[in-house]
Amino acid sequence: MYKLNQNSVTRLADEASIPFANGNRDYEEYKQWLSEGNTPEPEFTQAELDAITKEQTKQEALTKIASLEAAQLRSIRELMLDSSNAFAKAKLEDIEAQIQAERLKL
């Protein structure tokens, strides 16, 4: 059995990495194996792809939270300078809601 990789195929019996190179004895054996109706395992299982997607979503949310928290701090500074500033108060509430929405993605 074999498993596909980005630039090669791995023979599972001995973990040999076989480049996609015509004339390579191992690659020729692999092509014969394919011609017999066999199918290699994919590079990533669905569970692995799901985990990758989940981690990417988590990192995006953390980046967005950091950006929003920086904006929140700017609004807090404005608010501290002028406690009657309704715009700063509203902006702070909006940013807090956005941060909460991003945390729900984690």
Q: Tell me how far apart the alpha carbons of residues 102 and 11 are, in angstroms, rounded to a whole number.
A: 42
pLDDT of residue 83: 65
For residue 57, what pLDDT is reported?
95
Same domain, 51 and 84: yes
Say how many domains are in the chain: 2
pLDDT digit string (tens) for the chain, length 106 residues: 999 998 999 999 999 999 999 999 999 999 999 999 999 999 999 999 999 999 999 999 999 999 999 988 887 877 766 767 777 778 878 888 998 999 998 8
Residues 98 and 67 in one domain: yes
Q: Which contacts (CB < 8 Å, 24+ apart) does range 80-84 have?
A: none
**19 & 67 share domain:** no
H/E segment holding residue 16: strand 16-19
Q: Is residue 65 part of a domain?
A: yes
C-alpha span between 47 and 39 (Å, rounded): 19
Phi-psi region of 41 (alpha: psi -120 to 50; beta: other; left: phi over 0): beta
Looking at the structure, do residues 8 and 28 belong to the same domain, yes or no? yes
pLDDT of residue 96: 85
Q: Find the domain containing 93 and state its range.
A: 46-104
Please give the angle made by the CA atoms of 74, 97 and 84, to the nearest 5 degrees: 50
